[in-house]
């Protein structure tokens, strides 16, 4: 692959400069991709990007090997993130809190947690099944009445997604990646080959390699190439609450059997949320208190009775990029359209998977194969062939 010198010609273009697109760009540049890379990002503020609106959690407690392998690589990457992203002696602070993920178990989900724990341990994840007493040692304020125990993965945790994204971008730029703050509105395709894109201001950019990393807009980008990508935007709301007295210990990212999750935010405030099953598809960024009052608070206060009294400080809404096919990422190249790659549809676990996804696409694009993490099971082919990757631990 030779260097192209025309300013409007690139060797590879990535549509979407969120954590996925930026990780791909960083990995390619860092791994020695021989060519000019452009990342197209329509919103330089990232105000509505899923990455910055996420809660920044990473766990290895999945039920499929591919998701576990992805998160094992990503966790070790995030642990060394500051060093890896150093630019001119400056290291980004992502405030990684390795407090673990804690899945609480009741009669209904306990058998599943037990099975998953055995499987996770067989792949080297140190997930522990904790008794009620052990669980209460981690969260003494928990109401244990209807619980059996919990599944705990120490070392997992959560971090600041905004600083993480900025760390990737700064390093990618330092390594020579071009960020173009423009919206791609058209992709030029000739037969089964790609030729380039046109942006909203009418400029044409040429490249035969294009990566779709457009997050919740991945389906729209797919349409520009004439490819159906079953990824849709679905709103998820997050709430910030203040307890009447602070918990004097660190909360792991905890998932209640009701689906409500909670974790610590700075100042010992608590972030909480729950995926709404009947949330309509759409680009909806408004958040409301009613869902908190009706759906979240009752379960939250049941589990943490102290939170019968609390102050709802604020909230926000972001978009899951839901893969309607099987709620897992779609990673790899299109089998028929030459040069069309994608890393989309992560359905609520894309932030944590970004490092491994970036590495995988870097290898696929440079070497034509996966070497570090084999993400073949998540290829687009599975949709064409009618196969699903059934992940039982989707939050
Ligand atoms: C409330 C909430 C909580 C979450 N919590 C977690 C969590 O704890 N852990 C976890 O792993 N994941 C979590 N997620 C999911 C995670 O945020 C996403 O999976 C991940 O951020 C996807 O990254 P992305 O780069 O694909 O998407 P984005 O961050 O949305 O980036 C895509 C970018 O593409 C740009 N773009 C789109 N179309 C175009 C175009 N045509 N031209 C130019 N630019 C374009 C957009 O402007 C956007 O900036 C959460 C999500 C939400 C909403």
113 shares its domain with 256: yes
Domain end call among 318, 342, 361? 318
| pLDDT value of position 392 | 85
DSSP secondary structure, 77-91, as one string: HHHTHHHHT-BTTB-
253 shares its domain with 356: no
| pLDDT value of position 253 | 97
141 shares its domain with 106: yes
248 shares its domain with 152: yes
10-residue mean pLDDT profile of the chain (395 residues): values are 62 98 98 97 97 97 96 98 97 96 97 97 97 97 97 96 98 98 98 97 96 98 98 98 94 97 92 95 97 97 97 97 97 98 97 98 98 98 95 81
Instruction: Report yes or no on 60 lying in a domain.
Output: yes
250 shares its domain with 209: no
250 shares its domain with 130: yes
Q: What is the pTM of this model?
A: 0.97
- CA of residue 18 to ligand 1 center, whole Å: 6
Task: State the burial class of residue 90 (Cβ atoms within 10 Å of its Cβ: 0-12, 13-18, 19+).
Answer: exposed
Identify the residue whose tokens are 């600083």. 163
Domain end call among 281, 300, 318? 318
What residues have CB less than 8 Å from 65, skipping those under 6 apart? 123, 377
Atom of ligand 1 nearest to the CA of 344: 26
Instruction: Report yes or no on 278 lying in a domain.
Output: yes
Q: Could you tell me the CATH number of the domain that includes residue 298?
A: 3.30.9.10
Beta bridge partners of 129: 151
Could you tell me the residue range of the domain that residue 220 belongs to? 12-73+161-230+325-384
CA distance 209 to 132: 53
Q: Could you tell me the CATH number of the domain that includes residue 204?
A: 3.50.50.60
What residues have CB less than 8 Å from 182, skipping those under 6 apart? 40, 41, 42, 199, 200, 201, 203
Domain end call among 318, 339, 356? 318
Residue with CA closest to ligand 1 atom 41: 184
219 shares its domain with 273: no
**Comparing C-alpha atoms, which of 150, 118, 116, 114 is closest to residue 132?**
150
329 shares its domain with 314: no
- CA of residue 49 to ligand 1 center, whole Å: 5
State the DSSP code for 200.
T
| pLDDT value of position 393 | 80
CA distance 316 to 161: 15
Count up the domains in the chain and report the number. Answer: 2
- Write out residues with Cβ below 6 Å of ligand 1: 15-21, 40-43, 46, 49-51, 53-57, 183-184, 213-217, 221, 236, 238, 318-321, 346, 348-352
Instruction: Report yes or no on 135 lying in a domain.
Output: yes
CA distance 205 to 4: 12
| pLDDT value of position 7 | 53
Is 60 within 8 Å of 68 (Cβ atoms)?
yes
| pLDDT value of position 17 | 98
Identify the residue whose tokens are 């909360």. 251
Is 72 within 8 Å of 60 (Cβ atoms)?
yes
Atom of ligand 1 nearest to the CA of 237: 1
| pLDDT value of position 3 | 43
């Amino acid at each position: 692959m030779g260097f192209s010198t025309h300013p409007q010609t690139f060797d590879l273009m990535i549509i979407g400069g969120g954590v996925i697109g930026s990780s791909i760009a960083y990995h390619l540049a860092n791994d020695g991709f021989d060519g000019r890379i452009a990342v197209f990002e329509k919103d330089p503020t990232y105000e509505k990007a899923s990455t910055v609106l996420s809660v920044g959690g990473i766990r290895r407690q999945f039920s499929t090997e591919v998701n576990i392998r992805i998160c094992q690589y990503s966790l070790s990457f995030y642990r060394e993130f500051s060093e890896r992203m150093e630019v001119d002696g400056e290291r980004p602070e992502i405030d990684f809190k390795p407090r673990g993920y804690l899945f609480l178990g009741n009669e209904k989900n306990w058998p599943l947690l037990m099975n998953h724990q055995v499987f996770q341990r067989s792949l080297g994840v140190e997930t522990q099944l904790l008794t009620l007493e052990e669980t209460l040692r981690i969260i003494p304020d928990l109401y244990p009445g209807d619980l059996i125990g919990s599944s705990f993965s120490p070392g997992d945790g959560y971090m600041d997604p905004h600083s993480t994204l900025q760390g990737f971008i700064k390093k990618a730029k330092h390594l020579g990646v071009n960020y173009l703050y423009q919206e791609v509105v058209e992709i030029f395709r000739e037969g089964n080959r790609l030729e380039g894109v046109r942006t909203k201001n009418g400029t044409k950019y040429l490249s035969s390699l294009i990566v779709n990393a457009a997050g919740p807009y991945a389906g729209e980008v797919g349409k520009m190439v004439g490819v159906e990508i079953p990824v849709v935007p679905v709103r998820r709301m997050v709430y910030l609450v203040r307890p009447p007295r602070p918990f004097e210990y660190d909360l792991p990212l905890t998932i209640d059997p009701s689906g409500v999750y909670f974790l610590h935010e700075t100042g010992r405030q608590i972030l909480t949320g729950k995926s709404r099953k009947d949330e309509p598809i759409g680009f909806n960024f408004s958040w409301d208190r009613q869902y908190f009052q009706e759906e979240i608070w009752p379960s939250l206060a049941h589990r943490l009775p102290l939170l019968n009294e609390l102050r709802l400080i604020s909230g926000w809404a972001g978009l899951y990029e839901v893969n309607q096919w099987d709620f897992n990422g779609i990673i790899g190249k299109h089998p028929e359209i030459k040069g069309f790659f994608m890393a989309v549809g992560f359905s609520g676990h894309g932030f944590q998977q970004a490092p491994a996804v970036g590495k995988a696409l870097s290898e696929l694009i440079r070497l034509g194969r996966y070497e570090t993490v084999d993400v073949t099971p998540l290829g687009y082919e599975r949709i064409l062939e009618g196969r699903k990757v059934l992940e039982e631990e989707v939050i």
